[in-house]
Structure 1
């Protein structure tokens, strides 16, 4: 079982996201008000809290949302999970659709932070069942 450490959104793709008190997810869309919402496979991004903390330990000054991630989760090695893994968080069900991503050009995040762990550590999901997620919520792998 894991814990949601932060939830973040932005209205523009490719920039750092802003931490929110909670997010509302819609089935087959993503997060209301987030630039990545839409009927495609990368509706929501997750990043491991442990990986962010390891990056910070190398001297980086980053906060929640710095890598463009929507949900920061503690307790899972996200990049090691297989495609199709489902996460349950309250009423919300997410399905893992992609591990990592190709970054063709250094994004705004890379230029601001000096590196971006999202292409190698982040995972992407589609929303199967909608609902609300907030920091402190438990999240588990649904079998």
Structure 2
């Protein structure tokens, strides 16, 4: 199933926007400060949630979290655990549908809404390759 999409940004290092992400099966995203092998090699977030996060002042993760891929026109609930997704010349698998909230986060303590909990998707790299701003996203069913 091919999905319409619009990439708002691709990010590496300390929230630096880039035009291309290079995915590797050995270490995750090349040149990413958080690059590591495992089930959370890539972080994905939608534009709507990013805008909410940008306007939240409190929260343990709010100022530290930055997704590698910000997308628009794809509902995050369509991206589920175990789904393979082709983007550009790469293939990734959604591994985590939620971001863990830390017990000492002020948002959690005060019962406030945090869009990161339900709207972050993590993925691991199945086949390395490059992702560009013009690539389509295809969910492999």
- Alignment TM class, shorter chain as reference: 0.7 to 0.9
Q: Which residue of 2 aligns with 1:25?
A: 23
Q: Which residue of 1 aligns with 2:12?
A: 9
Q: Cα distance, 1:48 vs. partner?
A: 1.1
Aligned partner of residue 99 in structure 2, secondary structure:
coil
- Asked if the contact 2:49/2:116 (under 8 Å) is kept, the reply is no
Selected match of 2:138 from 130, 137, 140: 140
Q: Which runs of 4+ in 1 moved over 4 A?
A: none
Q: Cα distance, 1:95 vs. partner?
A: 0.2
In structure 2, do the counterparts of structure 1 residues 51 and 130 end up closer, same or farther at CA, with 3 Å as the change threshold?
Answer: same
Tell me if 1:60 matches 2:55: yes
In structure 2, do the counterparts of structure 1 residues 106 and 28 end up closer, same or farther at CA, with 3 Å as the change threshold?
Answer: farther
- Of the two, which has the highest radius of gyration? 2
What is the alpha-carbon distance in structure 2 between the residues aligned to residue 119 and residue 28 of structure 1?
28
Q: Which residue of 2 aligns with 1:110?
A: none
Q: Cα distance, 1:67 vs. partner?
A: 4.1
Aligned partner of residue 23 in structure 1, secondary structure:
strand
Gapped regions of structure 1 (runs ≥ 5)? 12-16, 108-114
What is the alpha-carbon distance in structure 1 between the residues aligned to residue 128 and residue 118 of structure 2?
27
Q: Which residue of 2 aligns with 1:112?
A: none
Q: What is the aligned length?
A: 127
In structure 2, do the counterparts of structure 1 residues 3 and 140 end up closer, same or farther at CA, with 3 Å as the change threshold?
Answer: farther
Selected match of 1:90 from 71, 88, 110: 88
- Asked if the contact 2:79/2:121 (under 8 Å) is kept, the reply is no
In structure 2, do the counterparts of structure 1 residues 74 and 43 end up closer, same or farther at CA, with 3 Å as the change threshold?
Answer: same
